[in-house]
Amino acid sequence: MDPQEEIPLALRAAYLMLHRQSDAAFAPYGVTADQFVLMARLSEGGAMTQKELAICMPSDPSTVRAMLVLLEERGFVRRNPHPTDGRARTVLLTAAGRRKFRQLWKAGESIRTRAVCEMSCEDAQTLVRLLRQYSASLNPSLMVAAVVNEG
Protein backbone atom coordinates (compact mmCIF):
# COMPACT_ATOMS: atom_id res chain seq x y z
CA MET A 1 0.00 0.00 0.00
CA ASP A 2 1.04 3.57 -0.73
CA PRO A 3 3.42 4.90 1.90
CA GLN A 4 2.20 8.43 1.14
CA GLU A 5 -1.32 7.53 2.19
CA GLU A 6 -0.01 6.60 5.61
CA ILE A 7 1.66 9.91 6.31
CA PRO A 8 -1.44 11.74 7.55
CA LEU A 9 -2.39 9.08 10.09
CA ALA A 10 1.18 8.56 11.26
CA LEU A 11 1.59 12.32 11.62
CA ARG A 12 -1.65 12.61 13.56
CA ALA A 13 -0.75 9.75 15.88
CA ALA A 14 2.71 11.13 16.59
CA TYR A 15 1.49 14.65 17.26
CA LEU A 16 -1.31 13.58 19.57
CA MET A 17 1.07 11.37 21.50
CA LEU A 18 3.53 14.23 21.89
CA HIS A 19 0.74 16.57 22.94
CA ARG A 20 -0.63 14.19 25.56
CA GLN A 21 2.76 13.51 27.06
CA SER A 22 3.67 17.19 27.10
CA ASP A 23 0.40 18.16 28.74
CA ALA A 24 1.02 15.54 31.40
CA ALA A 25 4.56 16.76 32.00
CA PHE A 26 3.51 20.40 32.35
CA ALA A 27 0.28 19.82 34.28
CA PRO A 28 1.99 19.82 37.72
CA TYR A 29 3.05 23.37 36.90
CA GLY A 30 -0.46 24.40 35.92
CA VAL A 31 0.46 25.05 32.30
CA THR A 32 -0.55 23.34 29.05
CA ALA A 33 1.68 22.12 26.23
CA ASP A 34 0.45 24.87 23.93
CA GLN A 35 0.98 27.56 26.53
CA PHE A 36 4.54 26.27 26.74
CA VAL A 37 4.95 26.71 23.00
CA LEU A 38 3.62 30.25 23.18
CA MET A 39 5.94 31.16 26.05
CA ALA A 40 8.88 29.56 24.24
CA ARG A 41 8.24 31.76 21.23
CA LEU A 42 8.02 34.87 23.37
CA SER A 43 11.09 33.81 25.30
CA GLU A 44 13.30 33.56 22.25
CA GLY A 45 11.65 36.19 20.06
CA GLY A 46 11.14 38.96 22.59
CA ALA A 47 8.22 41.35 22.32
CA MET A 48 6.02 40.97 19.24
CA THR A 49 2.46 41.60 18.09
CA GLN A 50 -0.26 38.98 18.47
CA LYS A 51 -0.26 38.53 14.73
CA GLU A 52 3.47 37.81 14.61
CA LEU A 53 3.07 35.43 17.51
CA ALA A 54 0.26 33.62 15.70
CA ILE A 55 2.42 33.22 12.60
CA CYS A 56 5.44 31.81 14.40
CA MET A 57 3.53 29.42 16.68
CA PRO A 58 1.85 28.67 14.23
CA SER A 59 -1.76 29.12 15.30
CA ASP A 60 -4.86 31.09 14.49
CA PRO A 61 -4.89 34.71 15.79
CA SER A 62 -8.14 34.13 17.65
CA THR A 63 -6.66 31.07 19.33
CA VAL A 64 -3.58 33.03 20.34
CA ARG A 65 -5.76 35.74 21.80
CA ALA A 66 -7.68 33.25 23.95
CA MET A 67 -4.41 31.85 25.25
CA LEU A 68 -3.02 35.31 25.96
CA VAL A 69 -6.10 36.25 27.97
CA LEU A 70 -5.56 33.24 30.22
CA LEU A 71 -1.83 33.81 30.55
CA GLU A 72 -2.32 37.51 31.24
CA GLU A 73 -4.81 36.78 34.03
CA ARG A 74 -2.14 34.66 35.66
CA GLY A 75 0.50 37.31 35.23
CA PHE A 76 2.83 35.46 32.88
CA VAL A 77 2.32 37.81 29.97
CA ARG A 78 1.58 41.48 29.37
CA ARG A 79 -0.01 43.17 26.35
CA ASN A 80 0.95 46.77 25.78
CA PRO A 81 -0.29 49.16 23.12
CA HIS A 82 1.95 49.14 20.08
CA PRO A 83 4.12 52.29 19.92
CA THR A 84 3.34 53.18 16.31
CA ASP A 85 0.43 50.95 15.17
CA GLY A 86 -2.81 51.77 16.96
CA ARG A 87 -4.43 48.50 15.93
CA ALA A 88 -1.75 46.22 17.30
CA ARG A 89 -0.64 45.22 20.78
CA THR A 90 2.86 44.09 21.69
CA VAL A 91 3.08 40.97 23.80
CA LEU A 92 5.88 40.09 26.17
CA LEU A 93 6.71 37.75 29.04
CA THR A 94 6.66 39.27 32.51
CA ALA A 95 9.38 38.45 35.04
CA ALA A 96 7.05 35.81 36.50
CA GLY A 97 6.51 34.45 33.00
CA ARG A 98 10.23 34.11 32.39
CA ARG A 99 10.65 32.41 35.75
CA LYS A 100 7.82 29.99 34.97
CA PHE A 101 9.27 29.23 31.56
CA ARG A 102 12.60 28.23 33.05
CA GLN A 103 10.76 25.75 35.28
CA LEU A 104 8.84 24.39 32.31
CA TRP A 105 11.94 23.97 30.21
CA LYS A 106 13.39 21.67 32.86
CA ALA A 107 10.08 19.81 33.25
CA GLY A 108 10.01 19.16 29.51
CA GLU A 109 13.50 17.74 29.52
CA SER A 110 12.26 14.22 30.29
CA ILE A 111 10.13 14.16 27.17
CA ARG A 112 12.85 15.44 24.93
CA THR A 113 15.45 12.98 26.20
CA ARG A 114 12.99 10.11 26.27
CA ALA A 115 12.25 10.56 22.58
CA VAL A 116 15.83 11.30 21.73
CA CYS A 117 17.55 8.30 23.27
CA GLU A 118 15.72 6.09 20.78
CA MET A 119 16.66 8.15 17.76
CA SER A 120 20.04 9.05 16.31
CA CYS A 121 20.98 12.63 15.63
CA GLU A 122 20.96 11.84 11.93
CA ASP A 123 17.45 10.43 12.01
CA ALA A 124 16.28 13.45 13.97
CA GLN A 125 17.67 15.75 11.31
CA THR A 126 15.99 13.74 8.57
CA LEU A 127 12.69 13.76 10.42
CA VAL A 128 12.74 17.54 10.86
CA ARG A 129 13.66 18.03 7.21
CA LEU A 130 10.86 15.80 5.94
CA LEU A 131 8.30 17.35 8.28
CA ARG A 132 9.18 20.81 7.00
CA GLN A 133 9.03 19.63 3.42
CA TYR A 134 5.63 18.10 4.06
CA SER A 135 4.30 21.29 5.69
CA ALA A 136 5.60 23.40 2.84
CA SER A 137 4.01 21.18 0.21
CA LEU A 138 0.64 21.55 1.93
CA ASN A 139 0.93 25.30 2.29
CA PRO A 140 -1.58 26.88 -0.08
CA SER A 141 0.34 30.17 -0.11
CA LEU A 142 2.99 28.30 -2.08
CA MET A 143 0.46 26.98 -4.56
CA VAL A 144 0.61 30.18 -6.56
CA ALA A 145 3.98 29.17 -7.97
CA ALA A 146 2.70 25.72 -8.87
CA VAL A 147 -0.31 27.13 -10.69
CA VAL A 148 1.88 29.59 -12.55
CA ASN A 149 4.20 26.77 -13.57
CA GLU A 150 1.31 24.79 -14.98
CA GLY A 151 -0.05 27.72 -16.98
Q: How many CB atoms lie within 10 A of CB 150?
A: 6
Q: Does 70 bind a copy of itself (CB under 8 A)?
A: no
Which residues make up the interface to DNA (CB under 7 A)? 16, 19-20, 23-24, 32, 34-35, 49-51, 54, 58-63, 65-68, 70, 79, 82, 84-89
Give yes or no for a contact between 111 and 25, defined as CB atoms under 8 angstroms apart. yes
Task: Give the interface size with a copy of itself as a residue count (CB under 8 A).
Answer: 49
Residue 118 interface partner, choices a copy of itself, DNA, none, CB cut-off 5-8 Å depending on type: a copy of itself
Q: Which is nearer to DNA, 79 or 100 (CB)?
A: 79
Question: 77 has which bridge partners?
Answer: 93
Distance, CA of 97 to CA of 91 (rounded, Å)? 12
Residue 6 interface partner, choices a copy of itself, DNA, none, CB cut-off 5-8 Å depending on type: a copy of itself
Q: Which is nearer to DNA, 24 or 126 (CB)?
A: 24
Phi, psi of 101 (to 5 degrees): -65, -35
Nearest CA to 54 among 38, 72, 35? 38
Mark 91-120 with x for binding to a copy of itself (rule: CB under 8 A) and - for no binding: --------------------xx-xxxxxx-
Measured between alpha carbons, how far is residue 31 from residues 35, 78, 106, 124 in Å?
6, 17, 13, 27
| Chain residues in the site for a copy of itself (CB under 8 A) | 3-19, 21-22, 37, 58-59, 111-112, 114-119, 121, 123-128, 130-140, 143
